[in-house]
């Protein structure tokens, strides 16, 4: 008997879930429909860094999830046959200006590698050695190099995964949908019943689940980054990503493209307008490490909306009292790292059912999803 699954939201979680629902055993008996109107999606505005191992966050559940997400990426890219324009392990360099701070960071790297061999090689670099690896920088700081770190183009990743799934069992509908009180999905063609629904709408989760009598503890945050056209060095596509202390992240792509960002603007919420003052701030960050860059080098500004929870932790799984509906949100700025693993887990749950135990990755969903009657 054919199983009908809906996915609401086509960002990193929704796209990855759709991909796995097209390749997992039993997918040949599954029909998947993805609904997304494309407004404000964080993933399509993102150019991310896959390097969670030196994070200062103390949330061990988040760290285990992020570590699993980073480990999944190489396998996912091979299986989906996506190229280096989407994802590439170029390594990451995390800098520190104070020598003792750098020593502490290096010690942490070796400690974390004991449980995360995918970190790869660890090297301490002088400022000159950092500049040698990333000649775009004219005012570098010393840092630690992690060879397993990578860069990923969020928009290209989503497009690649959805294209693969569409070739098998996925239909994409470019529209906004809502729920009825009993969990049916109201589309432009009227209410429709699905055996399972995955809701991956990020910061819009609160309004989407409200008709179900559910309150979601999720808030929006605006994020902006800039694309710069810079000197095209030989082998620039292999340059490490740089996470400078006190400045925005630098993500070099090939052919003279450099991404700088992103911002974390709580006041921006769902505003998707480019803010010239923020653009200037991002450019100033680039100029402090790269001499000679001007506003003329800016080729694009990307804007998206992230989702955050009160404790800055993601959550995912069946909505309490609505077990056929699975939700994910609260990924924040680590969405490109944690999203694929969350999407994979939700796809398996939607396809096979059961009550998986994901407590190693998250607190109980009742921490974030409560009844509006309470």
Domain that holds residue 213: 3-43+155-218+311-368
241 lies in the same domain as 196: no
52 part of a folded domain: no
264 lies in the same domain as 329: no
Give yes or no for a cis peptide into 362 (omega within 30° of 0).
Answer: no
Residue-wise pLDDT for 347-363, tens only, equals 999 999 988 999 999 99
* Mean pLDDT in residue range 128-157: 94
* Mean pLDDT in residue range 232-244: 85
102 lies in the same domain as 228: yes
pLDDT at 56 (0 to 100): 85
Q: What is the CATH number of the domain that holds 8?
A: 3.50.50.60
214 lies in the same domain as 247: no
Nearest to 8 by CA among 176, 216, 212: 176
341 part of a folded domain: yes
Q: Tell me the three state secondary structure of residue 72.
A: helix
250 part of a folded domain: yes
55 part of a folded domain: no
Residue-wise pLDDT for 176-188, tens only, equals 999 999 999 999 9
Is the per-residue pLDDT at 269 higher than 60?
Answer: yes
pLDDT band at 191; cut points 50, 70, 90: very high
**Domain termination residue (choose one: 308, 323, 350):** 308
Residue-wise pLDDT for 41-78, tens only, equals 566 666 789 999 999 888 999 999 999 999 999 999 99
126 lies in the same domain as 139: yes
Find the distance separating the first CA and the last CA of the chain, reported in whole Å.
39
Residue-wise pLDDT for 98-132, tens only, equals 999 999 999 999 999 999 999 999 999 999 999 99
190 part of a folded domain: yes
280 lies in the same domain as 318: no
pLDDT at 46 (0 to 100): 67
CA–CA gap between residue 31 and residue 260 (Å, rounded) = 39
Q: What is the CATH number of the domain that holds 108?
A: 3.30.9.10
pLDDT at 232 (0 to 100): 87
Is the per-residue pLDDT at 38 higher than 80?
Answer: no
Is the per-residue pLDDT at 40 higher than 60?
Answer: no
239 lies in the same domain as 300: yes
pLDDT at 113 (0 to 100): 95
77 part of a folded domain: no
226 lies in the same domain as 364: no
pLDDT at 44 (0 to 100): 60
374 part of a folded domain: no
Q: Tell me the three state secondary structure of residue 78.
A: helix
213 lies in the same domain as 226: no
Whether residue 127 contacts residue 138, with contact meaning beta carbons closer than 8 Å, is answered with no
Task: Give the count of domains, the chain.
Answer: 2
pLDDT at 33 (0 to 100): 98
297 part of a folded domain: yes
Query: Within 10 Å of residue 293's Cβ, how many Cβ atoms?
Result: 22
pLDDT at 374 (0 to 100): 61
116 lies in the same domain as 224: yes
CA–CA gap between residue 247 and residue 286 (Å, rounded) = 8
229 lies in the same domain as 303: yes
**Domain termination residue (choose one: 308, 325, 342):** 308
pLDDT band at 236; cut points 50, 70, 90: low
pLDDT at 48 (0 to 100): 82
**How, if at all, do strands 30-35 and 3-8 pair?**
parallel
Global confidence as pTM = 0.94
Query: Within 10 Å of residue 1's Cβ, how many Cβ atoms?
Result: 4
**Domain termination residue (choose one: 293, 308, 323):** 308
């Amino acid at each position: 008997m054919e199983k009908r699954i809906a996915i609401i939201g086509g960002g990193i979680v929704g796209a990855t879930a759709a991909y796995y629902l097209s390749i997992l055993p039993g997918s040949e008996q599954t029909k998947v429909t993805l609904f997304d109107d494309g407004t404000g999606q964080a993933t399509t505005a993102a150019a991310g860094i896959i390097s969670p191992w030196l994070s200062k966050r103390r949330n061990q559940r988040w760290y285990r999830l992020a570590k699993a997400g980073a480990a999944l990426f190489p396998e996912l890219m091979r299986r989906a046959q996506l190229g280096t324009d989407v994802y590439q392990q170029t390594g990451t360099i995390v800098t520190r200006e104070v020598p003792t701070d750098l020593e502490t960071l290096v010690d942490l790297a070796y400690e974390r590698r004991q449980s995360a061999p995918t970190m790869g090689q660890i090297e301490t670099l002088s400022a000159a050695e950092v500049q040698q690896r990333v000649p775009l920088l004219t005012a570098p700081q010393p840092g630690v190099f992690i060879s397993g770190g990578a860069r990923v183009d969020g928009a290209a990743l989503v497009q690649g995964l959805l294209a693969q799934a569409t070739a098998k069992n996925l239909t994409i509908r470019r529209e906004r949908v809502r729920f009825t009180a009993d969990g049916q999905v109201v589309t432009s063609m009227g209410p429709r019943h699905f055996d399972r629904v995955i809701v991956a709408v990020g910061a819009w989760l609160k309004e989407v689940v409200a008709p179900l009598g559910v309150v979601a503890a999720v808030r929006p945050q605006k994020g902006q980054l800039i694309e710069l056209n810079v000197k095209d060095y030989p082998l620039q596509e292999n340059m490490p990503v740089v996470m400078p202390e006190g400045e925005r992240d630098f993500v070099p792509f090939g052919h003279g493209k450099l991404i700088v960002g992103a911002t974390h603007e709580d006041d921006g919420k769902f505003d998707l307008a480019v803010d010239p003052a923020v653009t200037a701030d991002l450019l100033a960050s680039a100029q402090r490490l790269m001499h000679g860059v001007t506003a003329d080098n800016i080729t694009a500004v990307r804007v998206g909306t992230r989702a955050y929870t009160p404790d800055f932790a993601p959550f995912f799984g069946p909505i309490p009292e609505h077990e056929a509906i699975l939700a994910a949100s609260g990924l924040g700025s680590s969405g490109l790292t944690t999203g694929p693993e969350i999407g994979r887990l939700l796809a398996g749950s939607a396809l096979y059912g059961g009550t998986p135990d994901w407590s190693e990755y998250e607190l109980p969903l009742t921490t974030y999803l409560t009844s509006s009657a309470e």
